[in-house]
Amino acid sequence: MAYNIAAWNVRGLNNIRKAAEVRKLIQSEQLALIGLVETKVKAKNTRMVQRRLGDWSGVTNNTKDPRGRIWVLWDPKAFKVTVVDMTDQVIHTRVDDLGARKHYMLSLVYARNNKKARSDLWKNLLNFSQGVASLNPWILMGDLNSCRFISEKVGGNKLHQRDVQELAECIERSGLEDIKGVGTFYTWTNRHEGDDRILSKLDRCLINNTWCITFPDVEGMFLEHGVSDHSPIILKWPHKGGDGHAPFRFFNHWLENKEFKALVEETWDCAVSGNPMMKLYTKLKLLKGKLKEWSKQNFSDLHEKVVKAREDLERIQREIQAHPLDIQLASMESSALEEYNKVAAAEESSLRQKSSASWALLGDENTSFFHKKMQGNRARNSVHSLVDSAQTTITDKREIAKLFVSYYQQVWGQRSNATIPSDFEEQLSFETTV
């Protein structure tokens, strides 16, 4: 299965809150590569800021522009990324997807605000399209700082054909076309209110004909702007087979709650039928269900507030796409953004209190330590492939699950001459050590 990738104009990465939003995007969309533009991170601060986003590999165009206009970050377990060419407005790469065993050319773009400077970018893209890109699937993502059609802007001064002509000609001559997309149409907003409100489509995801033939089912998803003034672009690959349900996890802080022990004792005292092993299995299954519900009722309130605040923000931003100049919606967006930032910061504060020793060592106002721990555990507990009895390697998640079930059905389904002591269940203790 191919890995999802994204591009986003974040309007600055030095802010810790922005870095937290990038991490959330990576986690929620299950990304293994992201291009970030307009980072505004100086070369000397690159490594420090990059660590806030995780332990991924990365490349920037700091050598072409000291303001760090374009970053490309990727998970080295998922991709091999090779830089083919670089300017102050684009990084051209070859991406080898280690999971899907396919490759493609990926260009991350952040065009200049100056029309004359953008002309250099259009020439570069045309040259690239006639060279290595002509022989490979090619996808271009990022902020082009220009519209392709005059209908792609509302508010402010109206566009004329001369304003969109150069980009339109570049796309056509380079053999590119907009990818099949869903989500927001206006990818940029100036966030002003009233008559000064402007929205336009500046961010694009473009593909060549070879890409269309090689990856016909891939689509682009343009998300709501969130904390930036630009929409993130997510490249969504078709998923064959689901990821399954989230695994059950035991949290040590449950032990500090007075209700926990009573809940365990109540469940363990339930009368169940079957042999001792079946009784143990049944009680553990019952306990898992009750603990999940109990945890949801007692420990998820703050997180739900964060989720709700973000949903409210995105719902308003979707309405703005339909009514871009609505004064009330603009005011509601400002209030919703303020509320989301407030509750998101409160959630991170709560995490710091629960892990005070670790946070004191980090000295950083973000949840990177918390998420790294979770990601490490998930990686260790994940099964990505199994070899069946015919020595065939299975990688599909649904087939892996079936193989597990089949194996243990055979093991537990066989009759055994072994005897089980009558006091077997009494010998089992449900004590937990931390």
Rounded distance between C-alpha atoms, residue 161 and residue 139, angstroms? 26
Rounded distance between C-alpha atoms, residue 283 and residue 215, angstroms? 48
pLDDT for residue 246: 58
Let me know if residue 396 belongs to a domain. yes
- Number of helices (H), then strands (E), belonging to the chain: the values are 13, 18
Q: Kindly state whether residues 92 and 188 are assigned to the same domain.
A: yes
Containing H/E element for 384?
none
Residue type for position 173: R
Containing H/E element for 277?
helix 276-299
pLDDT for residue 305: 81
In sequence order, which residues have a C-beta less than 8 Å from that of residue 129 and are 6 or more positions away?
138, 173, 174, 175, 176, 208
Let me know if residue 284 belongs to a domain. no
Q: Kindly state whether residues 358 and 230 are assigned to the same domain.
A: no
What does pTM read for this prediction? 0.63
Report how many domains make up the chain: 3
Rounded distance between C-alpha atoms, residue 387 and residue 403, angstroms? 9
Range of the domain at 204: 4-236
Q: Kindly state whether residues 375 and 393 are assigned to the same domain.
A: no
Q: Kindly state whether residues 189 and 67 are assigned to the same domain.
A: yes
Residue 345: Cβ-neighbour burial (10 angstroms; 0-12, 13-18, 19+): middle
Q: Kindly state whether residues 392 and 313 are assigned to the same domain.
A: no
CATH code of residue 143: 3.60.10.10
Rounded distance between C-alpha atoms, residue 86 and residue 64, angstroms? 8
Let me know if residue 362 belongs to a domain. yes
Picking from 55, 61, 176, the residue whose alpha carbon sits closest to that of residue 112 is 61
Token reading at 343: 């509750």
Contact 386, 400 (CB under 8 A): yes
Q: Kindly state whether residues 135 and 30 are assigned to the same domain.
A: yes
Q: Kindly state whether residues 112 and 198 are assigned to the same domain.
A: yes
187-to-11, 40, 52, 156, 197 alpha-carbon distances in Å: 13, 20, 26, 16, 14
Query: Which of 363, 381, 399 is the last residue in one of the domains?
Result: 381
Let me know if residue 358 belongs to a domain. yes
Rounded distance between C-alpha atoms, residue 65 and residue 297, angstroms? 50
Q: Kindly state whether residues 50 and 121 are assigned to the same domain.
A: yes
Query: Which of 236, 259, 276 is the last residue in one of the domains?
Result: 236
Q: Kindly state whether residues 206 and 146 are assigned to the same domain.
A: yes
Long-range contacts of 148-155 (CB under 8 A, 24+ apart): 148/178, 148/201, 148/204, 152/185, 152/186, 152/200, 152/201, 153/198, 153/199, 153/200, 153/201, 154/186, 154/198, 154/199, 154/200, 154/324, 154/325, 155/195, 155/196, 155/197, 155/198, 155/199, 155/324, 155/325
In sequence order, which residues have a C-beta less than 8 Å from that of residue 210 and are 6 or more positions away?
135, 136, 137, 138
Q: Report the chain (434 residues): mean pLDDT per 10 consecutive residues.
A: 90 88 93 95 89 91 88 95 96 93 96 95 96 93 97 95 96 94 93 93 95 88 93 83 58 70 89 84 87 75 82 93 92 92 72 48 46 41 63 74 81 59 52 41
The SS3 assignment for 336 reads helix
For residues 227-263, b (16+ Cβ closer than 10 Å) or e, as one string?
A: bbbbbbbbbbbeeeeeeeeeeeeeeeebeeeeebeeb
Pairing of strands 70-74, 31-37: antiparallel
The SS3 assignment for 73 reads strand
Let me know if residue 249 belongs to a domain. no
Q: Kindly state whether residues 109 and 225 are assigned to the same domain.
A: yes
Rounded distance between C-alpha atoms, residue 264 and residue 250, angstroms? 13
Query: Which of 236, 271, 289 is the last residue in one of the domains?
Result: 236
Let me know if residue 434 belongs to a domain. no
Q: Kindly state whether residues 391 and 377 are assigned to the same domain.
A: no
Let me know if residue 279 belongs to a domain. no
Let me know if residue 433 belongs to a domain. no
Q: Kindly state whether residues 352 and 405 are assigned to the same domain.
A: no
